[in-house]
Amino acid sequence: MYKKLLLLICGASLVGSLESQAQQRLEIGLSGGYTHNTLSADVGYRSFTKYQPSAGFQVSVPVQYHLNDWFGIQLDLSYIQKNYALKRTGFFEGVNSEITNNFIQAPLMAHFSFGTEKIRGFLNLGGYVGYWTSSRFQSTVPNPFSPDKELDDNDQIYNYNDLVDYYSHSGKVEFDSRRDRRVELGLVSGVGAEYRIDERFKVFAEARYYYSATDLQKDYMINQTPRYNNTIGLQAGVFYALWSK
């Protein structure tokens, strides 16, 4: 009796193991999309100054390993932009800067999915590590070589633009190892939907939120203002199944 019960338990365990293995799948993909980054920072003593969100793009190579029908692990290798703008207001209106920040980023996430065999929704939760590879600026600043504007006695001066002309210039931002923290750590969450075309291919669309937990600056001065990236990404792409069992 006990031998029959033991054989029954072992047989059920073996069947369950085979069913679980039959749902395993390794997939690799390619995706691209839009980013909208906000720099969280207090301008503090800098009067007539504010940060504004700015748009960018991202390209990723995601890899998914499905342990079963509803759970898997996903790792991405991404190129992502986290841009922002610096705007002057009030008397200094017209003095602006657009900052383009390029990162190589690797999110590692738990992948939860639900739905039918063809159409499924999914949720990604995890963390990421990124490296700030380069940064560029494009600024509009006063032209020191422009002739002074002639104002009549009755003219009212409302902003800096009433006094000077402007010119635009751009260039590469040089990193300072004493000031800039180029490694970024944070949390990521995503929600999306996918459609399986056949046994090998599926397409997907996803919205993600990246929350940076590290300041872009090192502690290099007293009473400095922390600066954090908060990024929303919209992307679409395709997956190809390398193998399944």
> What's residue 47's pLDDT?
62
Q: How far apart are CA 29 and CA 128, in angstroms?
A: 18
Q: What is the mean pLDDT of each run of 10 residues along the chain (245 residues)?
A: 42 42 85 96 67 96 96 98 86 78 98 96 98 91 53 46 56 91 97 96 98 92 86 98 91
CA torsion, ordered 213, 214, 219, 220, to nearest 10 deg: -150
Q: Which of 111, 89, 58, 45 is nearest to 229 (CA)?
A: 58
Widest distance between CA atoms in the chain? 111
Contact criterion met (CB below 8 Å) for 42 and 227: no
Classify the phi-psi angles of 48: left when phi > 0, otherwise alpha if psi is within -120 to 50, otherwise beta: left
> What's residue 92's pLDDT?
65
> What's residue 212's pLDDT?
97
> What's residue 189's pLDDT?
98
Q: How far apart are CA 33 and CA 104, in angstroms?
A: 15
Helix (H, G, I), strand (E, B) or coil at 204: strand
Domains of the chain, with CATH numbers?
25-90+99-137+183-244 (2.40.160.20)
Q: Which of 218, 209, 208, 207 is nearest to 184 (CA)?
A: 218
> What's residue 88's pLDDT?
76
> What's residue 95's pLDDT?
74
Residues 6+ apart with CB under 8 A from 40: 227, 228, 229, 230
Tokens of 23: 């749902």
**Beta-bridge partners for 172:** 136
Q: How far apart are CA 133 and CA 93, in angstroms?
A: 31
**Beta-bridge partners for 74:** 64, 109
Contact criterion met (CB below 8 Å) for 74 and 46: no
